[in-house]
Amino acid sequence: MQITAAQVKELRERTGAGMMECKKALTEAGGDLEAAVEAMRKSGMAKADKKAGRVAAEGRVEIASEGKRAVIIEINCETDFVGNDDNFRGFASTCANTALNGNADSVEVLMAETVNGQTLEEQRTQLIAKVGENVQVRRFERIEAEEALGFYQHGARIGVLVSLKGGDEALAKDVAMHIAASHPVCVDESQVPGELLDKERAIFKAQAEESGKPENIIEKMIEGRIRKYLGEITLVGQPFVKDPDQTVGQLLEAQGATVTGFVRFEVGEGIEKKRENFAEEVMAQARGA
């Protein structure tokens, strides 16, 4: 049967696939658009399976908020080029809004949510077929503020959510901006993991013992370094980025506010990126030939 240009155009808009692929799918489906879409979705799944093992350490952090609730989510791809693609950005926005308005407590549950007649997992698979890269929804977290909610995005790579008790949204945003820049580990000393503190104390002790000073002096040196370390890694102990003459703790105290929680996501943090050596690749191919 005759496949019209209009049919090919509609299938391309539905799937994002190439013109020849669309024409072939329509021909094999006897002109049935829905059957062609289903066949191409299956084809897309096959492509997605092949790409699933490839490292996806680029992408974007997306934030969605409503009232005093917000969600932050990280979606990964393989290159920053795809991370800026409109299709990828649209998928990230859909995932963020679905996580905000739903009750999913894990990525797996979130991906099973249905939006516009398709699960997010089906949409992810189709996106892989469109952009030609591995795409992964890595993580998300929700936060609900007692009184003031703040969020900040540094481009698409870093996102922060902050909840305050006391203060206002302007203060919350300033604190979120500070967290994006200074990357604190936790709010205050009470939240510092014991094993992290023990590890740093052991390092400081070994360094101090090399000085040959008496034990009582060494202990004072260790405690001084621990105090300095806590000031560096806790939010309230860090100098405020917009006014380094005061700490974030002093800023909050002056406005009668406390931070009840924060989340900071940075694209690709903790993902081991594969580094390609082009010269070695060429040599390997030459040896194989």
Residues 68 and 131 in one domain: yes
Q: Is residue 45 in some structural domain?
A: yes
Domains in the chain, number: 2
Q: Is residue 246 in some structural domain?
A: no
* 3-state percent breakdown (helix, strand, coil) of the chain, nearest 5: 50, 20, 25
What's the rounded mean pLDDT across residues 74-81?
A: 94
Q: Is residue 66 in some structural domain?
A: yes
Q: Which residue has the higher pLDDT, 88 or 46?
A: 88
Q: Which residue has the higher pLDDT, 41 or 32?
A: 32
Cβ neighbours of 181 (radius 10 Å): 14
Q: Which residue has the higher pLDDT, 191 or 41?
A: 191
Q: Is residue 119 in some structural domain?
A: yes
Task: Tell me how far apart the alpha carbons of residues 284 and 247 are, in angstroms, rounded to a whole number.
Answer: 54
What's the rounded mean pLDDT across residues 132-147?
A: 93
- Tell which of 94, 118, 144 closes a domain: 144
Range of the domain at 135: 54-144
Residues 99 and 120 in one domain: yes
Residues 93 and 45 in one domain: no
Q: Is residue 85 in some structural domain?
A: yes
Residues 73 and 117 in one domain: yes
Q: Is residue 287 in some structural domain?
A: no
Residues 140 and 58 in one domain: yes
CB 172 within 8 A of CB 164: yes
Q: Is residue 89 in some structural domain?
A: yes
**Bridge partners of residue 243, in order along the sequence:** 240
Question: What CATH number should be reported for the domain holding residue 81?
Answer: 3.30.479.20
pLDDT for 278 beyond 50: no
Task: Tell me how far apart the alpha carbons of residues 110 and 119 are, in angstroms, rounded to a whole number.
Answer: 9
Question: What CATH number should be reported for the domain holding residue 35?
Answer: 1.10.8.10
Q: What is the pLDDT of residues 50-69, one digit of tens each?
A: 666 677 789 999 999 999 99
Residues 138 and 59 in one domain: yes
pLDDT for 190 beyond 70: yes
pLDDT for 1 beyond 80: no
Residues 137 and 64 in one domain: yes
Q: How many percent of the chain have pLDDT more than 70?
A: 88
Q: Which residue has the higher pLDDT, 194 or 156?
A: 156
Instruction: Report the largest interatomic distance among the alpha carbons of the chain, rounded to a whole angstrom.
Output: 94
What's the rounded mean pLDDT across residues 231-251?
A: 95
Task: Tell me how far apart the alpha carbons of residues 251 and 211 are, in angstroms, rounded to a whole number.
Answer: 38
Q: Is residue 224 in some structural domain?
A: no
pLDDT for 284 beyond 90: no
CB 82 within 8 A of CB 69: no
Residues 70 and 43 in one domain: no
